[in-house]
Amino acid sequence: MRIAIEGCAHGELENIYDTILSLEKRENMKIDLLLCCGDFQTSRNIEDLSSMAVPQKYSNICSFYKYYSGEKLAPILTVLIGGNHEASNYLQELPFGGWVAPKIYYLGVRIAGLSGIYKANDYMKGHFEVFPFDTNTKRSVYHIRNSEVFRLKQISQPIDIMLSHDWPTNVTDYGNKEQLIRFKPHFKEDIETQKLGSKPCEELLSILKPRYWFSSHLHCKFAALVPHENNTFTRFLALDKCLPKRRFLQVIEIPHDEKEEIKINYDLEWLTILVTTNHLTSIKQVPNYMPGLHGNERFSFTPTDEEKSLVMSKLTNDLTIPENFKQTAEPYDEITPKKHLRHIGPIQNPQTVQLCELLSIDDPIEMILKEKGRSFDESYTEFQNEISNTDIKNDASLENPCDATFVNDTITEETTPIKDFKRKLSSLSLPKPKNDVQDLFVIDKDPLTTDNSFEFLNRDHSLFHIDEGDSNKCMKKEIENTQQSSKNKMKRRNTGPYIN
């Protein structure tokens, strides 16, 4: 079973799929699953763009809407987490995860995953944001909260893959830090002061000890091998954004019984944690403290067998995630591209309703609206009546990343996308290739070792794109370009730098 991992998508979904299809054809192999580390940009229509906290030049409809509308079907099962370039009003409809389009699944938390980025000022607060967002809440809505991290800390079963948008703080100590600083010199100060990345992610790395950890956000490729006190290791890999000649895609290969059908399943331990910690959900803008060791209430929510059995009975002993995607907003229309919709508030997603009723847990958005004396956007009901006769066909051959068993893995090559959009190109869109398709491939021969040692860190690894014909000249040119662009483009949106 082969899994492709992608860094910052920035809406270039068609190009990412074309890259994978080209790789499959070139290498005569099949990719079974795509994992995306944030900045997916699930924009269904023009109105969704207003919920994205991005500079105007990046506010582009891109191509996700085609998969949402049913115009196209994802060629590969795709699992994503959120970053800071997101249509947050849509992802808010799915606080516990769900299908954002047929064959494209949003992971609220757990292969495991943690959506969003760290911001100290918002970390202790509840999720108080509700659509329509203002200038501040369209950013704070994608900041992670202590309750999400607390719930992840309750997991006891081994995790194969962890996805986060942020890097864990101090992960640079276990990779080629000197090469990273040469490539991104403005990282140096934050690395030295331990501000590059997310402290909560570092805590989770230490507690969960996943086999793999994949991140994006900082728009470069970086590998590390992080040791744990129990003599295990986490293989960390950060990936770039989807642009030509950038290292944004990685493929790992794991054993899997080809005769066994692969499906996406709920994780029983995680669902049980959601149930037992439901009372900790906060919608307040004030600090929301989690239970501690010396308090008078329960502080450990690692599920007991009895608690898991109770949740299993609620699910009638079936952990299969239903293929229950439904459109909740009108998709973008190329014929009338500037058309705006009538949605004035948040929309209630049927997937969330079904899961909350099944588990008897609260939808945070519904809690906020009740407190404010409001209700969900009624225009959704009108929209559902309009499309009630439209049947969106889902591909039944869905695959389950949770079924995989990690024994050994092989890293294969990555490629760059080749799709020529018919729409007007944004600054992140890829031009029609001038050279042969093969000239666009960027190859990593050994970007992430499978050996449980630090030997690979001392070797000369191409963690960033370097043309093999003249590597020194290319590296020097990339460093010069990065140094020049960083003077104008570095922005501080969390404790570490974010590069557009």
Per DSSP, 421 falls in state -
CB 177 within 8 A of CB 196: no
Phi and psi of 370, rounded to 5°?
-65, -40
| Counted domains in the chain | 1
Residues 144 and 116: their CA atoms lie apart, in Å, by: 6
pLDDT of residue 386: 61
Query: pTM for this structure?
Result: 0.76
Structural domain of 255: 2-499
pLDDT of residue 382: 60
Residues in CB range of 458: below 8 A, 6 or more apart: none
pLDDT of residue 59: 87
Residues 367 and 5: their CA atoms lie apart, in Å, by: 35
pLDDT of residue 375: 85
pLDDT of residue 348: 93
CB 218 within 8 A of CB 498: yes
Mean pLDDT by 10 residues, the chain (500 residues): 91 93 92 93 91 87 95 95 92 94 82 92 95 92 96 94 96 96 95 96 97 95 96 95 89 78 86 98 96 93 97 95 93 78 82 96 95 80 58 37 29 33 31 33 37 28 29 38 45 36
Q: Which residues of 454-471 are buried (b: 16+ CB within 10 A; e: fewer)?
A: eebeeeebbbbbbeeeee
